[in-house]
Amino acid sequence: MRIPMTEYLEIDLETERWRCRRCAHDLGPARGNYKEGTLVYNRDPTEIHRPLIDPGRYEFTFAPDPAWCRILEFYCPGCGTQIEAEYLPPGHPPTYDMQIDVDALKAQWAARPPGTVIPLGRDVTTEPLRVSGSNQ
Ligand SMILES: [Zn+2]
């Protein structure tokens, strides 16, 4: 059974693996950090937050200083969907933002009736929630 965790992430309880909800690409062990299975784009924050005033004339332009801040974008290697983004100091490792108690999740879902469906947002299909043992 695949359990949706975010809009783009799910956990396959049988294999205990993170998967992309768009393409089912394997992103690593569910007891670990899914970000280790993603592609990371280390972005200069001024690409996103452009200076509001002339950087040639002013030291502070209301844009983040790239010497102090980076934007890490995490993408699925299978389909290119952006899964997450975070602002961190340069050189800081990606954060560990979700540590799932897989054993508790398994117990929780074992107690639910077969075919239980979690309500999804309007942009996400129910396709990945099939109860079958298929990986696709
Ligand atoms: Zn994907």
pLDDT tens, 67-115? 999 999 999 999 999 999 999 999 999 999 999 999 999 998 888 887 7
Which residues, 6+ apart, have CB-to-CB distance to 107 below 8 Å?
none
Q: Ligand 1 mean position to 28 CA, how many Å?
A: 13
At residue 8, what is the residue type? Y
Q: Ligand 1 mean position to 52 CA, how many Å?
A: 35
**How many angstroms separate the Cα of 99 from the Cα of each of 105, 116, 123?**
12, 23, 25
Which residues, 6+ apart, have CB-to-CB distance to 119 below 8 Å?
none
Q: Ligand 1 mean position to 20 CA, how many Å?
A: 5
Q: Ligand 1 mean position to 85 CA, how many Å?
A: 15
Q: Ligand 1 mean position to 25 CA, how many Å?
A: 5
- Lookup: tokens for 120: 């999804």
Dihedral over Cα of 34, 35, 36, 37: its sign = positive
Q: Ligand 1 mean position to 69 CA, how many Å?
A: 27
Q: How confident is the model at residue 1 (pLDDT cuts 50, 70, 90)?
A: confident
Cα–Cα dist 102/91, whole Å? 30
Q: Ligand 1 mean position to 75 CA, how many Å?
A: 8
pLDDT tens, 24-65? 999 999 999 999 999 999 999 999 999 999 999 999 999 999
Q: Ligand 1 mean position to 136 CA, how many Å?
A: 12
Cα–Cα dist 80/100, whole Å? 24
